[in-house]
Amino acid sequence: MRLTVLTSHPATSTVALAASWASAGDSVTLVLLDAAAALARAGHPAARALADAERVGVVVVAHDDALRRRGLIGSSVSDGVKAVDLDEVADLVVDGADKAVWL
Amino acid sequence: MAGPVTFVLNSGPAAESTATAIKLAERILARGHRVAVFAHDEAATLTAGKGETAQAIAALIRRGVHGATLDWVVDSAAADRLGVADSQIAGVVPGDHADLWAFVRGSAIVLSPGTAA
């Protein structure tokens, strides 16, 4: 199943949940919105959790406006995290997934 | 995708996640999908008065008249409690949690950013 997981809260529990679903065989895209975009900062304490999630197949993307509001551009964003605009997020919700959830 | 996308909003206009949810709803409407919003707690203030957020939502509701439909229901109890029941913009429907349940039952996707910290 294709899952899109949106999150606005900088909690690693959501990252771990996405990773567990991917480990179980689902195709998971984790979308970091709002305060959760801080998780994408290179060197953030959650970087290990994000890397672990990516290792089991979670695709991690972050809202470009949320990154910009936090001064996160270019090399300040962790490798493997792709910046996306809100149109791409909308596509992930309505077309790119069988299920979408905002945690 | 079958059925509308429902947003459940709890926070007021100062919450970053609420602003994101409204913009995301706009993008989904623009793709021709039906969108339903149930606003309770502080979110009842989003559609009150003549502020920037209320006017943006009014524009979205008007757009629905010409294409994809936006249903925006405000929890009456919250609006009463916050003193904004009489200042809601045109097109907003006062309702209760029975409406929320109806949205949830009829929707393909239900999204809620939760309450801002």
Which residues of chain A make contact with B112, given a CB cutoff of 8 A? Answer: 102
Q: What is the pLDDT of residue A48?
A: 87
Tokens at B111, concatenated: 């999204």
Q: Which residue of A has its CA nearest to B15?
A: A34
Whole-number average pLDDT of chain B: 91
Residues of chain B found within 8 Å of residue A87, distances taken between Cβ atoms: 27
Residue A6: pLDDT over 90: yes
Give the span between the Cα atoms of A11 and B56, in whole angstroms.
30
Distance from CA of B86 to the nearest CA of A (A): 31
Site from A5, A34, A69, A103 to mutate, B interface, most B CB atoms within 10 angstroms:
A34
DSSP B67-105: SS-EEEEEEHHHHHHHT-GGGBPTT-EEE-HHHHHHHHH
A102 touches chain B (CB under 8 A): yes
Q: What is the pTM for the complete model shown?
A: 0.92
| Average pLDDT of span A33-41 | 94
Residue type, B114: G
**CA of A56 to nearest chain B CA: how many angstroms apart?**
25
> pLDDT confidence of B1, banded at 50, 70, 90?
low
Chain B residues within an 8 Å CB radius of A68: none
A94 touches chain B (CB under 8 A): yes
B28 touches chain A (CB under 8 A): yes
Q: Do B27 and A86 touch (CB under 8 A)?
A: yes
Distance CA A79, CA A66 (A): 17
**What does residue B50 show for φ and ψ, rounded to 5 degrees?**
-125, 25
Which residues of A are less than 8 Å from B23 in CB distance? 86
* pLDDT of residue B2 exceeding 70: no
A9 vs A16: CA distance, rounded Å: 13
Q: What percent of chain B has pLDDT over 90?
A: 78
Q: Closest chain A residue to B29 measured between Cα atoms?
A: A90
Confidence band for B65, pLDDT divided at 50, 70 and 90: low
Chain-centroid distance of CA B64 in Å reads: 13
Report the pLDDT averaged over residues B39-51. 95
Cα-based distances in Å from A11 to A5, A68, B100:
13, 20, 27
Confidence of residue B53 (pLDDT cuts 50, 70, 90): very high
Considering only CA atoms, which of A101, A72, A88, A97 is closest in space to residue A7? Answer: A101
Query: Using the beta-carbon criterion (under 8 Å), do A89 and B27 form an inter-chain contact?
Result: yes
